[in-house]
Structure 1
């Protein structure tokens, strides 16, 4: 299945605004992140495990166990703090 990826804030600066990713049916957000990390640099550094990265699935915050469907939009962004 093909999903659309979007990146925001510092991740957008490192990875660009958009990309796409081919995954097996029923893959999770965690599997998508791992597949991107496996692409190597700059994805490996920007999305590395241990880095604080949030995800939104079809514009709704989600955790990494969320299941993906073909055509979904998955966004990654750093945590946001208020001031």
Structure 2
């Protein structure tokens, strides 16, 4: 009976060791995923924080001028009627 008891205890230890190993593998996988996400977030933050303000303002001014010119052109065209051509 003592030998059977020892084998049962040894099997229990082996099962627990397997569970712990599996849990550690899962945690390593999560650690890798979190590290990759952290790196991606740092890169995104760097892109946002390192915007060249002069370039951003210049781009905004260009877009605004284009928008204003488009509005003016549409306004001018909508004032024209078929009677203007007769």
TM-score using structure 2 length: 0.17
Larger Rg: 2
Relative to the length of structure 1, the TM-score reads 0.17
Higher helix share: 2
Give the structure with the larger strand fraction: 1
